[in-house]
Structure 1
Amino acid sequence: MVKGKLILKGIIELLSPAIIGSGMEENSDLDVMKDSAGRPFIPATSFIGVLRHKTENVGIDSSKIEYFWGTKRSDEENSTQSSIACSDLLPIGNVSVSFRDGVRINNKKGIAEDKAKFDYEIIDKGSTFSLNLEITLNGVEDDFKKQMLATIVELLKNEKVRVGAKTSSGFGRMKLKDHKICEFDFSRKQDVVNWFKYRRTDILPESTVFQYSPIKLSENKFTVDAFFTIKNSLIVRSYSVDPNLPDTEHIKSGNDYVLPGTSLKGAIRARAERIINTLEKPMKILDFLFGSAGANVDKPIKGRLIVEETILKDFPSEVQTRIKIDRFTGGTIETALMETKPLFRGKNESLFHVRLTIENPEPHEVGLILLLLKDLWTGDIAVGGEKSIGRGVLEGKTAEIKYNSLNIVIDDPSKLKSEDKKKLQDFVDALVNYGGETC
């Protein structure tokens, strides 16, 4: 018997681009899902699936979880209907869709593999969607359901929920804004009247108050927040079809230049592979950390390393004209003139933020990330294109390393405290001494 309803309404804003694939290949190799009017939207199935995953494996009684989310298909004989209902998240205003290019790099040669270029559609960051979520109160674990709703709100407000594909490369980060929660108790006449008014007008009453604390979810994360500058120049290519624009320029998200998580993650994975080969460790380390998928993979593994997309502010760009040289004659090749528009360091030495996060890390995985941070910091890893002419080299300025009670800030590595050096070295030693699979 239904004894009441909880309603959550609000606005979901994308803080980074999102890829919610439709399975279609009409405009690109992977098109985003659109409604009948051609507008991109977030399916409720994707949204609720992510929320369930975030909350069901945190030590909460499984029976309570099933009262809230419902029983999974594997146990249909003793099934419980879900208490939660959510509408598809429809776009608010104009929601733009852009294209991104991708290419698979041969890690041994450091160049693009033949016939391995692809493109895909993304929903641009800053897009907003309406959230309408309803929870049924029936006298069974109602207090828990209210706590779970408070927990969902907390997760969404604190940007801990991602939706769509390539979330480990910084895509799909979202935030809840301007939300309102109303509780309707059907044992009270006025609440019943208010409920029917809401169903007719879709406007929540102003008088209801919801006061429940969220469930504290345990987190086990290793995080690096580092700030870099560009040593010389940087370009992650974006191609133009406009003859009045350069042939390639640095990629943008909206009006901002960005360093895509895909580009940075690809660069550090290539270096991680070299480190693992040098130490003669199993490649499964990379599969558990970066993920693995594809036609040659028996069982896909979702990566636990998240590399955020970062905005590059206040870095000047400039068009440069380049030519192709005939190596036999030493002269220029006809019709091989091209223009590129990379970013440069600039006079003010602007900084950009790089965030790396491992969920449920192992000590040897932390050690590997520390070695990768060192190589990025010292300019030993180049990012993006045109590396052969010196582009893509970064210069580290500051870094903050967090893991449980560990919190180390690095400004000048040569001045790092001896006890902090030992703590970091212990993680590297764990990689050196690693002898098998643990994940």
Structure 2
Amino acid sequence: MDLAHRSDNRKIIKRIIIRGNLILDTPTCLGSGDNDSPIDLALLRDNLNSNLALLTGSSIAGALRNYLRKFSKKDNQNDLRNDLVSKLFGDLFVYENEINIPDEKERIEKRNQDNQSLLIIDDSISTSPIQPELRDGVKIDSVTRTAEPKKKYDLELLQAGTEFPLCFELLIEKESDESSLLKGLAIALQGLEPVEGLEQGEISLGIKKHRGFGRCHVNEWQVWQFDLTDHQQRLDWLKFEHWHSGLFPDYPTHTSIAQALNVSLDEKDDQREFCKIDATFTLASPLLIRSGQASSDKAPDVVHLKSRRNGELKPKPVLSGTSLAGVLRHRAERIINTIGKNVSIIEDIFGSDLSKNKTSEAKASRLTVHESVIENYTDLVQNRIAIDRFTGGTLHGALFNEQPIFPNNETYLKLNFELRNPENCEVGLLLLLLKDLWTGDLPVGGTSSIGRGRLQGKDATITLRREEKTETFTIEKSSDNLVVSDAKSLQEFVSALNEEVNK
């Protein structure tokens, strides 16, 4: 038979349907790419009902595929052909030198090596109308520490608490390895389950995932399995209410997808390497991160950024991941320029774009900085005036008021950031950044020149996992003393940074 006209049908012997409700834990930006919108990045909405948000299946698939790829091996290993990723999500092999293959039969055989995805993921529409949250962003020049021209933008975000019904369907072919496919699917969906001690999963959706947006979780799963070789189960699959969205009220639910699929996962399956820092701080001075949108017409001229959490009506003040990441990057540049000349470590950690680095490709950030909620705070309004530097008197028309966050004896916030595939020198740089935040030498937010934005450390846990070995270091403030679990090992990371930047 001529290979050019051959068409092999997929011999599907089993179908597995999985459903769950996805809940957003932090604001999420699912951009539509609409250039006509008055907002730079507007939300993607349902065409039939513009009051509902749309979460596309391609966005879900990309997040699951990326999580499974990181879980299975390091990011710097590019051979994905024979692993769980290509078996479950498919793979497309492009041969750049295909034109140099004269034999048509050989070219067709190479094209037939493409794998189609066995996992069907439906688009999802939010269960409730959109209550968008608007955020302003601006790019800061690291030298002048002022806003770069024409680099201000605004985002339209979905509020935390928005729910999306998820539906997956896994196709099992006759000659496929069912156990391997189920294991890969269980690992991928496990990233949506809440992490122990937290209400959030490890997978994020939308843009700016490395800056705290798009955190989400699924609490319960429902699973149906249909053996298509059995006549009755074929009829059951045809009669299944595919049009019904969300969970079925009279069907059993599972909190673990691995148990629902009857799959056992081993800790050795997790090949990820990371350095996590979880630290608790208090405010040593007022904090002000400007919100671009006032809550009412009677609000002060400048108010602190607030965001809703867990469906609460009253928004809470937050330290945004974009603000904290920008502060950390600028201080990291200052540290590297002080002790050495090897500045490539900055782009390796925080990423780079093509606007400043035209000689190389853009890099995504390997550092994830999460958004932090400030608990037990005090709101006060301050009136300020601008002074004419020539006359020394009040500048006409320059009376304004601000509403920063003031600390009390119970104020605290938790900072969390994670670096993937860390080197010793990169861990050393993170430790120096943590030290500057801890001592209040590195202010966050705006108006730092008048004493705002100073933090004070209370305790920190540093988790380093490499080569299936996990090390944990703790730092704790006790009275006037600082208790460090293994100061010698932490100092070795800083020494590695000095050696690297002075090469």
Is the structural similarity TM-score above 0.5? yes
1:126 aligns with 2:180: no
Alignment of 1:347-426 (within 5 A): 348-404=409-465, 405-412=470-477, 414-416=481-483, 420-426=486-492
**Residue type of the alignment partner of 1:151:** I
**Residue type of the alignment partner of 1:43:** T
Deviates more, 1:143-152 or 1:425-434: 143-152
**Residue type of the alignment partner of 2:263:** Y
Residue 16 of structure 1, CA deviation:
1.3
In the alignment, what sits opposite 2:59? Answer: 46
Cα 1:366–1:199 shift into 2, 3 Å:
same
Residue 376 of structure 1, CA deviation:
0.3
Aligned counterpart for 1:210 among listed residues 250, 257, 261: 261
Q: State how far apart, in whole Å, the 2-side matches of 1:186 and 1:389 are.
A: 70
Aligned counterpart for 1:92 among listed residues 116, 127, 136: 127
Q: CA RMSD in A?
A: 2.2
Three-state SS of the structure 1 residue aligned to 2:387 is coil
Question: Residue deviations 1:160-205, cap 9 Å, x none?
Answer: 1112211111111111122212211123344223212214663768
Residue 377 of structure 1, CA deviation:
0.3
Contact preservation (8 Å) 2:134, 2:293: no
Residue 378 of structure 1, CA deviation:
0.3
Contact preservation (8 Å) 2:21, 2:164: yes
**Residue type of the alignment partner of 2:113:** N
Three-state SS of the structure 2 residue aligned to 1:333 is strand
**Residue type of the alignment partner of 1:317:** D
Residue 223 of structure 1, CA deviation:
0.7
Residue 427 of structure 1, CA deviation:
0.4
Aligned counterpart for 1:334 among listed residues 388, 396, 399: 396
**Equivalent residue pairs, number:** 435
Contact preservation (8 Å) 1:226, 1:400: yes
Three-state SS of the structure 1 residue aligned to 2:116 is coil
Aligned counterpart for 1:263 among listed residues 318, 323, 346: 323
Three-state SS of the structure 1 residue aligned to 2:33 is coil
Gaps of 5+ in 2: 1-10, 74-79, 96-110, 196-200, 254-259, 309-314
Contact preservation (8 Å) 1:153, 1:176: no
* Superposition misfits of 4+ residues, deviation over 6 angstroms: none
What percentage of aligned pairs have identical amino acids? Answer: 33
Question: Residue deviations 1:405-434, cap 9 Å, x none?
Answer: 3212111385435x7111000000110001
Contact preservation (8 Å) 1:281, 1:434: no
In the alignment, what sits opposite 2:369? Answer: 307
Residue 24 of structure 1, CA deviation:
2.0
Q: State how far apart, in whole Å, the 1-side matches of 2:84 and 2:439 are.
A: 50
Cα 1:217–1:16 shift into 2, 3 Å:
same
**Residue type of the alignment partner of 1:385:** G
Aligned counterpart for 1:235 among listed residues 264, 284, 288: 288
Residue 44 of structure 1, CA deviation:
1.1
**Residue type of the alignment partner of 2:220:** D
Deviates more, 1:7-16 or 1:183-192: 183-192
Gaps of 5+ in 1: none
In the alignment, what sits opposite 1:219? Answer: 272
Alignment of 1:156-235 (within 5 A): 156-157=192-193, 158=195, 159-199=201-241, 202=244, 206=251, 210-214=261-265, 216-235=269-288
Cα 1:107–1:56 shift into 2, 3 Å:
closer
Contact preservation (8 Å) 1:260, 1:308: yes
